Structure 1
């Protein structure tokens, strides 16, 4: 007990949690940064991979933690005329910026390297909150009905 006598003790207070709005922004920012890295790698002619940890059972039945590749889906596609369409997604749903318009048109993949950081800054500033909240509300309504 002599080791505990020289210590100072205090009451533990749990750190404040982030609001749901900030958590949603952070989620979208993380996915936009993944898309930016995918574009950078593609422009440089490299492959971009992300690993995640997964628990699997081996031959003798014990659980082991294994690193596996995360499946990434590009949010951008090249059109026949050479332009590139970028859809920003929250979850599996594309964000509709205007009625029936969920894609941003740019001239080339190189332009995505300029556009995506602007979108990240817009998310940080809260400009996407209305879009994100409407998609999140749709998901909540669907879960309550099920």
Structure 2
């Protein structure tokens, strides 16, 4: 391996938008690993995905404890099987990295912070 030297330093403060994205990406990565283990058995209690009485899986994307709005009025993704849940998480992860959910993350972050403000 050849070393590639660059003239850059770690920023003192990370951009807030980047922090939100990274926080959500870490949780999505955790959910992907839970989904992989769920293919061998039952879903974990900490899994975001849930099933209805017909066996369809639903996958909300959560920031904190709140589900974020993925599209206007839509808070979950419907999947046919547990493998589709993993693929959905991977697709959402790519969308988060591209910044497609920045406004939803900002709204969710504001709502969470408002609960801690002094009244």
TM-score, normalised to structure 2, is: 0.81
* Consecutive aligned runs of 4 or more in structure 1 exceeding 4 Å deviation: none
Which residue number corresponds to residue 59 of structure 1?
none
Which residue number corresponds to residue 97 of structure 2?
124
**What's the RMSD between the two structures over aligned residues?**
2.3
Alignment match of 1:143 (pick from 101, 116, 119): 116
Task: For 1:60-99, list aligned pairs within 5 A.
Answer: 73-99=46-72
Gaps of 5+ in 1: 1-12, 49-71
Q: How many residues align?
A: 111
Paired residue secondary structure (2:77): strand
User: Which structure's relative contact order is higher, taking Cα pairs within 8 Å and 6+ residues apart?
Assistant: 2
Task: For 1:39-54, list aligned pairs within 5 A.
Answer: 39-45=35-41
Taking the aligned partners of 1:102 and 1:46, their CA distance within structure 2 comes to 23
Which residue number corresponds to residue 87 of structure 2?
114
Task: For 1:17-28, list aligned pairs within 5 A.
Answer: 17-28=13-24
Taking the aligned partners of 1:78 and 1:141, their CA distance within structure 2 comes to 32
Which residue number corresponds to residue 30 of structure 1?
26
Give CA-to-partner distance per residue, 1:28-65, whole Å, 9 cap, x none. Answer: 000001000001011134998xxxxxxxxxxxxxxxxx
User: Whose strand proportion is higher, 1 or 2?
Assistant: 1
Gaps of 5+ in 2: 1-8
Taking the aligned partners of 1:38 and 1:82, their CA distance within structure 2 comes to 18
Taking the aligned partners of 1:90 and 1:98, their CA distance within structure 2 comes to 15
Query: If you compute each CA radius of gyration, which structure gives the higher value, 1 or 2?
Result: 1
